Structure 1
Amino acid sequence: MNIISVIHNEKELHWRQMLKCVWSLSIPAMLAQTTYIVMEYIDAAMVGSLGAAASASIGLVAPVLWFLYGIGMATVQGFSVQVAQFIGAKKLLYSRDTFRQGLICVTAFAVLISVIGVYISPYLPGWLGATPEIYVGAYDYFQVYMFGMPIVMLRILSTAMLQSSGSMKSASFFNSIMCVLDIGFNALFIFSSGYVAILGIDVWWPGFGLGVKGAALGTITAEGVTACILLYLAMLRRKYTRQKDGMKWKLTWACLRDALKISCPIALEQGVLTGAMIAMMIIVAPLGTVAIAANSFAITAESFCYMPGYGIAIAATTLVGQSIGAQKKKFAKGFAWFSLGTGMFTMGTLAVIMYVLAPEVFAFLTPVKNVQDLGTEVLRIQLLAEPLFAVSIVGAGALRGVRDTLFSSVMNLVSVWGVRIPIALYLVGIYGLHGAWTAMCLEICFRGLLFLVRIYKQKWENRGSME
């Protein structure tokens, strides 16, 4: 289905057509997110085999990486949302120029983040309350990942540009390949060389035995290979973002102004959410290595439920953005609601599956029985909130398509820091890690209701000029 043609040429869309459009973009995006889940599970299992301390060292710095990743995503979306709307308006020269400016700005930003990250890496574990047994591993993992941040950001940018132009399948396929590469590179860098049994045959494996540091090296290497492929597709193959000889590589105030209008609220939103994760880690860290490891594994396990929601959110941003660009307000509203329903159904169903399979999932992720039991218990608390979690995730994606990004930022600030953190501070002293996850569950339900009201009241008008 050529969705861009459908949006431009159809005067009315039956609900079945809208649902088909949502699913046709959502399924490839969800598959890509699913491959991330598989990668996270296998990565966690690889590191988990090294012991609870190795898992805890990565879990300690993971929220900071999510914070930086989220800010980078906000920078990318400042340009990708514009591209989606320009494509919807059939302004290909504008979409191509916006991509070029995005390349310049995202690369510069990523280099800056990389330099800052490498500089603070020796001090970060101490700031987060690391115990001596996990300090070095946390430092090694974070430092290596920071060196590779420009590579990660270029992969994110090229993926977003392909998705904004409707090329979900290509973006999803090669991001899936990245996950396969990540598994191979992780095995190469994490474990020592030696013979391994494969299908009953002893095969020599040339491992480097770098442990936790090897996990970061494996991920960055896989990111680099994938970034090269996706940049090639976005810059030379996809007509909506294709770059040709003679095109000027310069920044314009109009593009940067619109990018800032879109990115700043999203960056605030991501900063609020991931900043809260850092605060939660500081709250959890005094509970000890087992609690840190269980918390980290529970977050990984929950991704099985919520990562597909982010795939649907990407589809919502694309569909709403292109509808707004084509001046089809009714289409934008319909796509937003169908995306929301799809997200709630998908994440709610996955939450039921995960609730049943949680003990088996944790047994796969770690051999440490105490970590398995604690992780299963806290995860099951959070799974009750997944349908409303879907509302906040997909709703934010739909609102980005209409450039209504400030609401998400403000509501996340109010909800996370006004509800989650205070409740967690109170409950963690009484119930330990269970209290922290109860606070998370209550806050996500509250936030989901706020987004549901916003989507209902949204006028679905373009809030920014595309000229």
Structure 2
Amino acid sequence: MNSTEIESNSDLNIKKKLIKLALPATVENILETSVGFIDSLMISQIGLFAVAGVGIANAVLNVYIAVFIALGIGTSSLISRYIGADNSEKAKLIAKQSLLLAIVSGLCLGLVSLLIGPQLLKLMGATEQTFNYSLQFFCIVGGGSVTIATMIILGSILRALGDTKSPMKIGLITNILNIILDYILIFGLGPLPALGVAGTAIGTLVARLLGTILLYRKVQSTILSFSFRSIFQRSNYQELLNLSFPAALERLVMRLGQVLYFGLIVAIGAKTYSAHSIAGSIESFVYMPAYGLATAAATLAGNSIGKKDYVETKRVAFYAVKYGVIVLSILGIG
């Protein structure tokens, strides 16, 4: 077999791995987005002010999520790199460190939500008509930020191992539960009273708590299995923080820009912001393949860097960008 054939087979292998990892991650993101869209439809039955209130709360929560995703990026990059280098013990250490950081940051932001939630929402432009809806949702979901953080990090750990199917399956379970709970709690059923916006927040929190438990149990069945107590052991976090901090700054700049942009729309009027929130939920479906490809590329690039195969790293990046441009161009035209 000559060098051209070897290179061709290598490229074919990279393409297959990229698609195999990207598809489940894309489906998972689509499911998550679909739940948000269905939630918006159910909340719209309460009224447009309710939609606007939840939208304002989510704009602030997206800043939190940006921090958690940045930590997830550092986690998956380092774990996949150490797995590629066949150093599972170091990968396990990163998994434990990232979970502890997720819990601490989630609890801190949860406390922020409960203590200064009203001030944050008013700063975002919540009006008299939208404030109560926004505060109900924000205090419950934001107060339970630790469930968002742990779900993101545990999912990142599994994806770093090349397992994108398990987060997808668990996402399907939690999202179905979320929709069922939201419907029951928003509109009431039998002896259960209609809780409105507070109902969708409670349903979201319960579903995420279940997701955290299922993801943690799945991690325990992998080579990175560790006891919960072991995450409190002393260790050096510098490597993880060095990689996660720049990613956090990048995403915070983007999210804070969106917060400013959303604030300008809120100033126009609650009905306008409601329309924007609904349209934004639909538009977000377009981005899902890109997120799936990004997840796959991060895992494969980390593996190849761990093996010190930098030629493969470049090929992974090339094909991920190529497929992303093609797919999103088609969806953008649509």
| TM-score band, normalised by shorter chain | over 0.9
After superposition, the Cα gap between the structure-2 partners of 1:191 and 1:207, relative to the gap in structure 1 and judged at 3 Å, is farther
Equivalent of 2:284, from 281, 300, 303? 303
Aligned to 1:176: 172
Q: TM-score, normalised by structure 1?
A: 0.68
Aligned to 1:49: 45
Q: Which of the two has higher C-alpha Rg?
A: 1
* Partners of 1:100 and 1:85 in 2: CA distance: 16
1:159 aligns with 2:144: no
After superposition, the Cα gap between the structure-2 partners of 1:12 and 1:321, relative to the gap in structure 1 and judged at 3 Å, is farther
After superposition, the Cα gap between the structure-2 partners of 1:84 and 1:129, relative to the gap in structure 1 and judged at 3 Å, is same
- Does the residue aligned with 1:271 lie in a helix, a strand or coil? helix
1:238 aligns with 2:219: no
Deviations 1:376-397 (A, max 9, x none): xxxxxxxxxxxxxxxxxxxxxx
Equivalent of 2:33, from 16, 37, 44? 37
Give the superposition deviation at 1:16: 2.1
Aligned to 2:330: 349
How many residues align structurally? 329
After superposition, the Cα gap between the structure-2 partners of 1:231 and 1:329, relative to the gap in structure 1 and judged at 3 Å, is same
After superposition, the Cα gap between the structure-2 partners of 1:39 and 1:47, relative to the gap in structure 1 and judged at 3 Å, is same
The 8 Å contact of residues 187 and 207 in structure 1, kept in 2 or not, is answered as no
Equivalent of 2:208, from 210, 223, 236? 223
Equivalent of 1:251, from 231, 234, 245? 234
Q: Decide which structure has greater helix share.
A: 2
The 8 Å contact of residues 75 and 156 in structure 2, kept in 1 or not, is answered as no
The 8 Å contact of residues 154 and 216 in structure 2, kept in 1 or not, is answered as yes
* Partners of 2:107 and 2:228 in 1: CA distance: 26
Partner AA of 1:324 in structure 2 = I
> What are the residue-to-residue correspondences of 1:436-447 with 2, within 5 Å?
none
The 8 Å contact of residues 190 and 207 in structure 1, kept in 2 or not, is answered as no
* Partners of 1:345 and 1:174 in 2: CA distance: 29
The 8 Å contact of residues 185 and 203 in structure 2, kept in 1 or not, is answered as yes
Give the superposition deviation at 1:167: 0.8
After superposition, the Cα gap between the structure-2 partners of 1:327 and 1:12, relative to the gap in structure 1 and judged at 3 Å, is farther
Give the superposition deviation at 1:101: 1.7
> What are the residue-to-residue correspondences of 1:309-388 with 2, within 5 Å?
309-353=290-334
* Partners of 2:329 and 2:32 in 1: CA distance: 19
Which fold has the larger relative contact order, with Cα–Cα distance below 8 Å and residues 6 or more apart in sequence?
2
* Partners of 2:246 and 2:227 in 1: CA distance: 33
Aligned to 2:3: none
- Does the residue aligned with 1:237 lie in a helix, a strand or coil? coil
Equivalent of 2:131, from 118, 132, 135? 135
Deviations 1:29-84 (A, max 9, x none): 11111111211111111111212111111111221110011112212332332111
1:261 aligns with 2:235: no
* Partners of 2:98 and 2:255 in 1: CA distance: 23
Aligned to 2:11: 15
After superposition, the Cα gap between the structure-2 partners of 1:321 and 1:224, relative to the gap in structure 1 and judged at 3 Å, is same
Give the superposition deviation at 1:244: 6.2
* Partners of 2:227 and 2:66 in 1: CA distance: 31
Percent identity reads 25
Q: Which runs of 5+ in 2 are unaligned?
A: 1-5
> What are the residue-to-residue correspondences of 1:86-165 with 2, within 5 Å?
86-165=82-161
Deviations 1:275-319 (A, max 9, x none): 011100111112111211111112111111012311211111101
Q: CA RMSD in A?
A: 1.9
